[in-house]
Chain A
């Protein structure tokens, strides 16, 4: 039985399909007037976020509450962590209070793995540095399945700041795992070295958005992480917008059923224009909505059954 979700590639294809199928049942619960289940009654879930977050933390909290679990949130800025307590001590202390599952976001890649080795409680990686954000990949897969019914052979492009994006890394694994064709589009300076070696099947690299758009089924737009752009990785914001910003003009030759996705938060007017974000092709709002359902399925998967210690 699975205890943790640290990386998307840890999940077998059949586990992903199982979660996507179960998410349907949870989506139905979210449409009810009383959005509450007794399934995880008595379980204690903790969100431990060392980086700011609105949607991911809220999405987990709602998912846990709607499953009947007790949820505590630790705001790192107001905790003992400010007094110099290290991560291992922090999580050991929290586990001693009877926590069943820790959802952690940290600026260091591998922090969730360290936590998983330290405690017996389940651990979910809610984003570690520029490494992975597996539940984002799950909700993206769920949104794609919801719209396209199948994954096989779909052509997806991930465009933007690949270098700083944990979402891109998780989705390269997730998309190739489900047999989709993946192309990365970015300025060469925002592509990490040897990025084409990621994924379970070969991925393509392109530097031109307009050339590739007519072939795509999915256009996945990443947030330009402006706070990390101090090193002058591209000449100017205006040039980035011109070449890689998605606007209606660039989408003129796209397929009608092209799916436009974005993990949020958006820099409107930079990587995406408002009219694209709210267009018929956009699934951005559905992504957020589906996030709660798939996280409920995941919590149920990790905590619902008899959780034998794998050791």
Chain B
């Protein structure tokens, strides 16, 4: 049996610290907060549009769809009826396809109703560069001529590369490019939370 002695130098301590720090997650929203935030947004939608006439939800795959469904449930409680809800896949409209090393899987867009002259509530989880929303707007305009499109996001993390803003925002949290924002929703992630991970 040979013993190996390790001298703990300041350099090692620093390295360990760095490794721990690199995996530090900060929770921005928990289940309760997401729930209250969505209730507030639903209220704002009804207030701003003075009711539900001509309103339709379009959720951007994947998490935007679940958020739209939750908002729709809240609206049903208040107004007694649900809004039509469509699902949008924006992958065919992305401008960064040539830059990606792996092709994103294109899934079906499911908007089984006419959007012309409708007031669209476009839902996504995080607003960052604005490029997803740009793609979504192009995709929607190919489907018809809506009267208005309003944007709903659970989290605005800043860092816009295009002149795009949201109409309804859950939370504004300025972040940097080397931070990762993860929205987790019960429907697919088994829990509700929003976290920031330092890369």
Contact = CB atoms under 8 A, between A and B. Distances in A.
Interface of A: 1, 18, 21-22, 24-29, 32-34, 36-39, 297, 300-301, 304-306
Contacts of B93: 37-39
A18 B100 contact: no
A101 to B, nearest CB: 15
Interface in B97-140: 97-103, 105-110, 138
B106 A22 contact: yes
Contacts of A301: 103
A33 B114 CA distance: 10
A18, A36, A306 — which one has the most chain B CB atoms within 10 A of its CB?
A306
Given A38-B93, A39-B92, A306-B100, A24 B108 contact: yes
B106 A28 contact: no
11 contacts: A18-B105, A21-B107, A25-B106, A25-B108, A32-B142, A34-B142, A37-B92, A297-B106, A300-B106, A305-B97, A305-B102
Contacts of B101: 305-306
A32 B98 CA distance: 26
B143 interface: yes
B89 interface: yes
A20 B34 CA distance: 37
A305 B103 contact: yes
A26 B92 CA distance: 9
Contacts of A297: 106
Nearest to B116: A33
A36 B142 contact: yes
Residue in B101, B103, B144 with the greatest tally of chain A CB atoms within 10 Å: B103
A24 B89 CA distance: 12
A18 B109 CA distance: 17
B107 A306 contact: no
Among A27, A32, A38, max chain B CB count under 10 A is at: A38
Contact of B103 (A27, A28, A37, A304): A304
Contacts of B106: 22, 25-26, 297, 300
B105 A305 contact: no
Contact of A304 (B97, B107, B109, B144): B97
A25 B142 contact: no
Given A36-B142, A38-B138, A39-B93, A25 B100 contact: no
A28 B105 contact: no
A38 B97 CA distance: 11
B110 A22 contact: no
